[in-house]
């Protein structure tokens, strides 16, 4: 009984999820574990959502503020959003029900660089943290915690929260013990010191999360898997985008700016990212390293095949097949994967010093290289900026990738002016679509516009973009970054009004 709970005092606090959830009160700020669908609490949020629904049925208000590491899953974000139980959410999400409530204006959402969340919490920017709900693999005899499939902000949540609820999940393999590296050397300004990490495989912390047992008010035992979405096989568009980036790596190696070991890789989540990772294998690379946020299927395969020697991250983001592969060969992977707190995995100074190659997706880019990662038509939130800004601004290379069109060719991925800007032209080096790669390094705004239109725009939209740029270069108030302000968002306005960025054919 309670085999994974070795601390005698905490064994006495084992209770049902319903009993634990009953300790969460309306108006609380609750910090929960979880990062990209891994390591989030499974039972307490569902019990809490049921209690919220019961309160609402009686006409009582029951909402809380929810902080996490990144996105979670239906058992957390989904059920709480469906219950109308969140008044505020940060810093990243991907649940469709939650997204709809955000875009309907029914709850407040703070989209923030993932590398900033822990320190902003310490600074007090989000107010007082009342309670933390953290999933772990197990509880050691001294009360320390074996982290789960994500570390995220759990160190900060455990330190900052007044009270703690622990979920001990038997589905998370015990063999993960020792895979984590939790750094306790951070401090508030002006007392910060250099972080002595010089290689992606350096260990600078501890394998466990520290815990004050006096804070714990409940321990809940669970047996539930992480909820991961299967990845589709890379399609032709994704493979073409990957091919352009791999050709670019070849040219950089020939120019002497990279070696055949490249530099530590950071990769966003998704099918394009997995296609890029798969391409590294077929291109013959070996002995690479990764310093990133998530380990996804493609990176797991590269580790298995020796393409990547070691990977540092803060979380997994695996499909069901990826989870099975990891669990079946965990002794192999635990020697080659390090999971850190996200304040270290996304630390700007470390990213800059290591020289990471940042590869992330986007919704759109404008002709001058400003990138929108988060908002459809400038107003509707998709998921959030995540960690892309942490890596794009500080990496050795920053690449943003997307198909040149969306919605079956109705929307252009390249627009005259981005309707929302997450990454300015100053942080963007490469724009890549299936059409080609635009290398923006060392180019002025007008030079960037010409190469982006030429290399990245879809043929259906290329003439429209070229015409806009030529007229703006002639008629704009200023000629440094030419724009026609009354037309600059015309692609977006047409989409909102008609469902396509393309104008109606002449004569209709």
Q: What residues are labeled active site?
A: 293
Dist. CA 470–CA 179, nearest whole Å = 55
CA distance 164 to 162: 7
- 417/240 Cα distance (integer angstroms): 25
Contact 184/156 with Cβ under 8 angstroms?
no
**Dihedral angle, C-alpha 92, 96, 99, 104, nearest 10 °:** -170
End-to-end CA distance of the chain: 74
Note whether 167 and 42 are within 8 A (CB): yes
User: Strands 436-439 and 414-415: what pairing?
Assistant: unpaired
Distance CA 431, CA 127 (A): 38
Secondary structure letter of residue 225 according to DSSP:
-
User: 340 phi and psi, to 5 degrees?
Assistant: -115, 170
**Helix residue ranges, H only, 104-149:** 117-123
Q: How does DSSP classify residue 423?
A: B
Pairing of strands 364-366, 414-415: parallel
Q: How many CB atoms lie within 10 A of CB 426?
A: 9
Provide the CB-side half-sphere exposure for 155 (13 A, CA): 25
Tell me if residue 246 falls in helix, strand or coil.
helix
Backbone angles phi, psi at 431, to 5 degrees: -115, 130
Beta strands 64-67; 86-90: pairing state: parallel
Nearest to 185 by CA among 194, 177, 198: 194
From CA 42, how far away is CA 224, in angstroms rounded?
A: 7
Any idea what DSSP says for residue 427? G
- Nearest in space to 329 (alpha carbons), one of 115, 176, 485: 176
CA distance 280 to 271: 14
DSSP letter at 459 equals: T
Question: In angstroms, rounded to a whole number, what is the distance separating the alpha carbons of residues 35 and 69?
Answer: 5
H helix or E strand, kind and range, residue 68: none
Among 256, 235, 230, 258, which Cα is nearest to 246's?
Answer: 258
Give the integer Cα–Cα distance in Å for 304 and 370. Answer: 37
């Amino acid at each position: 009984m309670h085999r994974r709970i070795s601390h005698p005092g905490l064994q006495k606090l084992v209770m049902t999820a319903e009993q634990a959830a009953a300790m969460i009160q309306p108006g609380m700020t609750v910090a929960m574990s979880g990062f990209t669908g891994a390591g989030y609490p499974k039972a307490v949020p569902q019990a809490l959502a049921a209690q919220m629904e019961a309160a609402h049925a009686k006409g009582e208000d029951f909402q809380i503020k929810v902080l996490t590491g990144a996105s979670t899953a239906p058992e957390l974000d989904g059920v709480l959003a469906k219950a109308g139980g969140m008044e505020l959410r940060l810093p990243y999400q991907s649940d469709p029900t939650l997204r709809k409530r955000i875009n309907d204006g029914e709850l407040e959402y703070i989209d923030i660089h993932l590398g900033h969340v822990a320190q902003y919490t310490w600074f007090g920017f989000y107010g007082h943290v009342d309670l933390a709900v953290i999933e772990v693999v197990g509880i050691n005899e001294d009360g320390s915690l074996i982290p789960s499939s994500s570390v995220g902000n759990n160190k900060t949540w455990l330190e900052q929260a007044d009270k703690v609820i622990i979920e001990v999940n038997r589905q998370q393999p015990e063999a993960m013990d020792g895979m984590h590296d939790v750094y306790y050397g951070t401090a508030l300004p002006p007392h910060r010191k250099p972080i002595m990490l010089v290689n992606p495989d350096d260990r600078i912390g501890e394998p466990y999360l520290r815990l004050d047992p006096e804070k714990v008010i409940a321990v809940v035992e669970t047996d539930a898997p992480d909820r991961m979405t299967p990845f589709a096989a890379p399609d032709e568009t994704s493979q073409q985008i990957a091919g352009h980036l791999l050709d670019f790596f070849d040219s950089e190696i020939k120019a002497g700016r990279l070696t055949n070991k490249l530099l530590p890789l950071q990769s966003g989540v998704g099918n394009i990212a997995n296609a890029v990772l798969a391409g590294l294998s077929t291109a013959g690379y070996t002995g690479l390293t990764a310093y990133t946020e998530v380990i996804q299927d493609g990176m797991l395969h590269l580790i298995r095949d020796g393409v990547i020697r070691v990977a540092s991250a803060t979380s997994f983001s695996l499909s069901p097949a990826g989870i099975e592969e990891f669990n079946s060969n965990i002794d192999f992977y635990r020697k080659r994967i390090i999971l850190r707190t996200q304040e270290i995995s996304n630390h700007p100074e470390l990213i800059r010093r290591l020289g990471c190659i940042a590869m992330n997706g986007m919704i759109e880019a404008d002709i001058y290289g400003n990138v929108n990662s988060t908002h459809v038509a400038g107003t509707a939130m998709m998921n959030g900026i995540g960690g892309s800004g942490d890596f794009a601004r500080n990496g050795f290379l920053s690449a943003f990738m997307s198909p040149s069109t969306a919605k079956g060719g109705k929307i252009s991925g390249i627009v005259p002016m981005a309707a929302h800007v997450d990454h300015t032209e100053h942080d963007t080096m490469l724009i890549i679509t299936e059409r080609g790669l635009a290398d923006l390094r060392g180019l002025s705004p007008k030079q960037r516009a010409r190469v982006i239109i030429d290399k990245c725009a879809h043929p259906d939209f290329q003439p429209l973009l070229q015409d806009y740029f030529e007229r703006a270069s002639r008629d704009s108030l200023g000629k440094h970054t030419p724009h026609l302000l009354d037309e600059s968002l015309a692609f977006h306005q047409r989409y909102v009004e008609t469902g396509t960025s393309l104008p109606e054919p002449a004569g209709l």
